[in-house]
Structure 1
Amino acid sequence: MGKNIDDTAVETVNGVQLRAVSVGEVEEWNRALNLGFLRPHAGIEPELPRRRWQPGRMLGCFDGGRQIATFRSSDVELTVPGGAVVQADAITNVTVSATHRRRGLLSAMMRRDLASAAERGCAVAILVAAEYNIYGRFGFGPATWGCGWRIDLARTRGLRESLPGVPGVPGGRIDFVTLAEQRELGAELYDRWRLTQPGAIARDGIWWERNTNQLRIPGEDFKEPFTAVHRDADGRVTGLVVYRIDNKWDGAYPDATLTVDDFIALDLPTAVELWRLVLSVDWVRKVVVDSVAPDDPLPLLLQDPRAATPHEANGDLMWLRLLDVEAAFGARRYGAAGRVVLEVEDRLGYASGRFAIEVAGDGTGRCTRTTDDADLALDVSELGSLYLGSETAPRLAAAGLLTEVRPGAAAAADLLLRTPLRAWTPTEF
């Protein structure tokens, strides 16, 4: 499937024209995007269309001369368990106007994009689902989860006084930096860090410019945050934290809330030093951490871990769809030696079939099509949830989302697919 895709083709879907958007049509495409996301249109930064537009990757649906649906994708590197990367089709900006729902427009745009992605050689497609029940029918499954915390400083009283094995960073130091320094130092640090975190995706130059206000977006109220970097004794940047402060007072008493927007640390000593800074800012009574890795030890670093309560927005984050099962599973590493045969159902056909995953003692593996009897049977959506290791086969089996053809196969597959770190996606796309 997905061969000889014509990115300039025009389709008619229930009387509506579906086609790629030209660079000159991006302003109206952006207006349709804002309408679909229920937000006021505030124009568009002049340079953004030229830099973000790619031939055939920005789709629109047209009813007469009016754009009433939007869809955009771009290729990005996705880190998989073991530190390798695969090419992912990152889908975003998906909207259909309320006046044109239930006409098959989303389905047509999705089919077109996935076919093009498969032709380009993308192993997977990824997206962030605004609503849970939309994308499963296209073969996507939740593959990473967000994890945030709310910390009451009066209860926790900061970090533990003695952190075993973490004496600090000899010769290390923390400095506040400018937005320009954040772009330069943060981008280099993130590119090193993302290869250690399954589920992380690359950040392009536009991401850094937008998040440091070099690229100003109409309608967005940017307020310069506080940005600090940690350096080791050799001067190499090993961590970064970006936070903002809501400077409130309760009468004569300070009652500020500090919100962490971005946190990167290459090692635990660096993380401890940066958290020590965050938890000791004057006037701050509450710290909100919007997102860290699901297995980040932050609560256990506190004197009272109960002072950290889960953020109410915690939940599924990035959804993943397999396009090339053999390439995707061949790229990652595994938790134990063994073999499991999967029978995969995929209504769009990209991942349909029977696949054997064989893992050597060193954690390397290969995935090939096979005619051997299946151990597990599942839909491609559930395969997407298993791929990065955040979901488990026994839990899916218990929920009736996976069938154990061979008794004990779910537990055996869990050992193979287990990862030292749970997948996490810290970057919006």
Structure 2
Amino acid sequence: MTTDLRVLRPADWDEWYGRLELAFGGVPESPEERALWRDLTEHDRSLGAWDGDECVGTAGAFTFRVTVPGGAAVQAAGVTMVSVAPTHRRRGVLTAMMRRQLDDIRSWGEPLAVLTASEPAIYGRFGYGIATQQLRATIDTSRVRLTVPEGTDDVRLRLVKADAPEVRDACEAVYARLVPTRPGMLERRPGWERLPLLDAEDDRKGTSPLQCVLARRDGEVVGYARYFNKPDWDAAGPKGTIELRDLEALDPAAYAALWRHLFDIDLTSRVRMYNRPVDDAWQHLVSDNRRCDMAPRDSLHVRLVDVGAALEARTYQAPVDVVFEVADAFCPWNEGRWRLTGDAKGASCARTGDAADIALSVRDLGAACLGGVSLSSLAAAGRVRELRRGALADASVGFASVVAPWLPHGF
């Protein structure tokens, strides 16, 4: 490779980001979205590949803290804005950026790297495993009914202006309380509260401006939903669609009240969602799952940058005492045997010379580390090998999460 790889200078951001836009189809983003990503870009954690004066590759890494099983928030590099110019493919540009980036992340002392992939096949060779899924669904609200729990009628709903500062702060407070409860969720650092409020007029494609409803009980905000209304009509009458952006609630009654609101909006017959947990509770409120057109999709890809620190950071729902033989050709400092001992109170993970119980790649360990992918399932696919009888079952139970891991928004 003859290109020059260097840390992004603020003065080069426009060209760097323009190259990213070109790689993703060349359609310029709205000024509002472009301004948001300009403000969120961490220049000292971003890389550009340059061929002379031309930017031919981009990669960034946000500073995140991601929840792991047990509720701890762990430092993680949010890998983002990765692209290679079509004129420079198959010349090692991506590999060079991934190599430099993982070396940097290790030097920063961050045990995890995480990303969402434009194409899932790209990042496995760099050690990233698919650790979470997101549920997409379209509910036919003209045919599906909700059964709501006791206390739902005690929740009061109010339509509010989504971007009003007091509304934004109330929604962020609810979100922050929920972050420790589900692996895969991200703490929102300053500036990131703007992302769920992004509402460029050019991007609406026939929908309303962003709408927001707050759920209150005894004067306290206990939940919120943000959504777009897309009106539509045919000869039989109205058939509009509610497009859900996000919905969070602190208890079942507030949660059900918000969903009932979405189902009851006049002149609509569908609620469409693009990113919900695969175990989202609305599936147990609806009268007919078959009319909800559900489909999962890969979401957060996880890479263990430091195997020991990453596995020590979480807890395990059943006691585990297992020696992993980890293969990691791209980050050889992870190669070898690691003894993991842990339970619901904590864990330790250190190098060992003891015989291995389970052999696997760092990619598959990353897929399992948030508790949403079973080691036994990976073994059934031939990706994990049990070397000591019984070790796989014990580890699979210990690694599992009581709720499905979920990434609430992209980056």
For the aligned pair, the TM-score class normalised by the smaller chain equals: over 0.9
CA contact (8 A) 2:230 2:242 kept: yes
- Does 1:32 find its partner at 2:13? no
Structure 1 residue 359: deviation in Å?
A: 2.3
Instruction: Give 1:6's aligned residue.
Output: none
The match for 1:290 is 274
How far does residue 48 in structure 1 lie from its aligned partner after superposition?
5.1
CA distance in 2, matches of 1:283, 1:220: 22
Q: Do residues 203 (structure 1) and 188 (structure 2) align?
A: yes
Measure how far apart 1:371 and its partner are.
Answer: 1.3
Q: Shift of the alpha carbon at 1:299?
A: 1.9
Any conservation in 1 of the 2:153–2:257 contact (CA below 8 Å)? Answer: no
Tell me whether 1:84 sits opposite 2:68 in the alignment.
Answer: no
**CA distance in structure 2 between the aligned counterparts of 1:213 and 1:140, rounded to whole angstroms:** 29
How far 1:325 moved relative to its partner? 1.7
Quote the residue 1:359 is aligned against. Answer: 342
Given candidates 101, 108, 120, the residue that maps to 2:89 is: 101
Identity score, percent: 35
Cα distance in 2 between the residues matched to 1:359 and 1:127: 27
Give the letter for the 1:277 counterpart: H
After the TM superposition, which segments of 4 or more aligned residues of structure 1 sit over 4 Å from their partners?
Answer: 42-50, 219-223
Q: CA, structure 1 residues 18+366, in 2 after alignment: closer, same or farther (shift >3 Å)? A: same
Counterpart in the other structure of 2:215: 230
State the distance in 1 between where 2:390 and 2:146 align. 43
SS at 1:155 equivalent:
coil
User: What is the rounded CA distance, in whole Å, between the counterparts of 1:240 and 1:43 in structure 2?
Assistant: 26
1:154 aligned counterpart, secondary structure: coil
Is 2:358 the partner of 1:376?
Answer: yes
Give the structure 2 partner of residue 66 of structure 1.
54
1:274 lines up with 2:261 in the alignment? no
- 1:247 paired with 2:211, answer no
Of 79-88 and 37-46, more deviation after overlay is shown by 37-46
Deviation per residue, 1:187-218 (Å, 9 max, x gap): 2221111111110112334333244248x69x
- Deviation of 1:381 after TM superposition, in Å, equals 0.1
RMSD over aligned Cα, in angstroms? Answer: 2.1
- 1:168 is aligned, of 140, 148, 151, to 151
TM-score, normalised with respect to structure 2? 0.93
Contact 1:79 1:86 (8 Å CA) reproduced: yes
Distance 1:54 1:225 in 2: 28
Structure 2: which amino acid aligns with 1:425? L
Deviation at 1:284, TM superposition (A): 0.9
**Equivalents in 2 of 1:243, 1:336: separation in Å?**
39
1:362-381, Cα deviation, whole Å (9 max, x unpaired): 44322222111111000000
Q: 2:384 aligns with which of 390, 402, 410?
A: 402
Supply the distance in 1 between the matched residues of 2:319 and 2:189 (Cα, whole angstroms): 36
Q: Distance in 2 between matches of 1:224 and 1:43?
A: 15
Structure 1 residues 24 and 305 mapped into 2: Cα distance closer, same or farther (>3 Å)?
Answer: same
SS of the residue corresponding to residue 215 of structure 2 reads strand
Count of residue pairs the alignment pairs up: 405
Q: What is the distance in 1 between the residues matched to 2:249 and 2:362? A: 34
Aligned equivalents of 1:44, 1:254: Cα separation in 2: 33
Partners of 2:86 and 2:180 lie apart in 1 by: 40
Classify 1:205/1:151 alpha carbon distance in 2 versus 1 (closer, same or farther; 3 Å): same
| Separation of aligned partners in 1, 2:231 and 2:307 | 50
Per the TM alignment, residue 92 of structure 1 is displaced from its structure 2 partner at its CA by: 0.5
Are the equivalent residues in 1 in contact too, given 2:375–2:384 (CA < 8 A)? yes
Contiguous gaps of at least 5 residues in structure 1: 1-13
Contact 1:36 1:69 in 2 (8 A): no
Is there any run of 5+ residues in structure 2 with no aligned partner, and where?
Answer: none
Cα distance in 1 for residues equivalent to 2:377 and 2:274: 27
In structure 2, the CA distance between the partners of 1:47 and 1:290, relative to structure 1 (3 Å rule), is: closer
CA-CA distance at 1:415 after TM superposition: 1.3
Quick one: which of 309, 312, 316 aligns to 1:327? 309
Instruction: Say whether 1:134 aligns with 2:119.
Output: no
- Residue pair 1:182, 1:212 contacting (<8 A) in 2 also: no
Aligned mate of 1:393, from 375, 384, 394: 375
CA distance in 2, matches of 1:364, 1:105: 40
Q: Give the distance between the partners of 2:385 and 2:280, measured in 1 at CA.
A: 32
1:252 Cα deviation from its structure 2 partner: 5.2
Q: Which of 160, 178, 190 pairs up with 1:177?
A: 160
Q: Give 1:306's match in structure 2, choosing from 276, 282, 290.
A: 290
SS state of the match for residue 421, structure 1?
coil
